[in-house]
Structure 1
Amino acid sequence: MVMRLIKIVIIVPIAILLVVLSVANRHLVTLALNPFEPQDSVLSVSLPFFLFLFAALVVGMLIGSVATWFAQGKHRKRAKDEAHEARKWREEADRQRNKIEDATTQKLLSASSR
């Protein structure tokens, strides 16, 4: 419930901000990809300004996500290795417990048969 409230508190203002930004920046701008001849229509695109802003936001979020994913790789590898080691020790403990139970059962059976 708290996480849902936090998401609403964060997402609603961001959505309102994006709508206001879109309405305020809907005039056409031209992005020229030819630095030597900016008037070249082949290497330019005209779109509303807010689309360029949203595209920059999305690209920035993707780059940040990829950078974070790579930066946390060592932590994911360590967690994977530790989980593998914990699984190995758990299996060893189960084997030892089974040995003890079998030995105890054998002793009880041999003692009761006397």
Structure 2
Amino acid sequence: MMKKLLNIVVLIPVGIVLIVLSVANRQTVTLALNPFNPADSVLSVSSPFFIFLFLAVIFGLVVGSLATWFGQGKYRKRARNEATEAVKWHAEAEKHRTRAETIASQTLLPATSR
């Protein structure tokens, strides 16, 4: 319930801001990718300005996510190694526990039969 409320409180204002940006930046602009001849139509794209704004935000989100993912790789590797080691130690402890139970049951049987 709290998560749904938080999503509504965050997503509605973000949606409103995106709609306002889209309406305010409807004019067509040309993005020229040829710095020596900006009039070259092969390396230029014309579209509403808000599309370029949204593409820049999406590109920034993707680049930031990738940088975070690769930056935290050493921590994920360490967690995998420690999880593997923990499983190994749990198996070892279980093996010793069953061995101790069998030894205890063997030593208790002769004492109770007397």
Same fold by TM-score, threshold 0.5 exceeded? yes
Q: Give the Cα separation in 1 of the matches to 2:11 and 2:76.
A: 28
2:57 matches 1:66: no
Q: Distance in 2 between matches of 1:72 and 1:6?
A: 27
1:79 corresponds to which residue? 79
2:35 maps to 1:40: no
Q: TM-score, normalised by structure 2?
A: 0.92
TM-score, with structure 1 as normaliser: 0.92
Q: CA RMSD in A?
A: 1.3
Alignment partners' CA distance in 2, 1:9 and 1:51: 25
Q: What is the count of residue pairs matched by the alignment?
A: 114
Question: Partner of 1:24 in structure 2?
Answer: 24
Cα distance in structure 2, aligned partners of 1:4 and 1:92: 44
Q: CA deviation at 1:80?
A: 1.1
Q: Secondary structure at the match of 1:13?
A: helix
Unaligned runs of 5+ in 2: none
What secondary structure is seen at the aligned counterpart in 2 of 1:42? coil
- Give 3-state SS (helix, strand or coil) of 1:40's partner: coil
Alignment-mate amino acid for residue 18 of structure 2: L
Counterpart code for 1:71: G
Q: What's the counterpart of residue 106 of structure 1?
A: 106
Return the alpha-carbon distance in structure 1 between the equivalents of residues 34 and 57 of structure 2. Answer: 23
Q: What is the alpha-carbon distance in structure 2 between the residues aligned to residue 64 and residue 88 of structure 1? A: 36
Give 1:19 shift.
0.8
Structure 1 portions without partners, runs of 5+: none
| 1:51 match | 51
Task: Work out the CA distance in 1 between the residues paired with 2:5 and 2:76.
Answer: 29
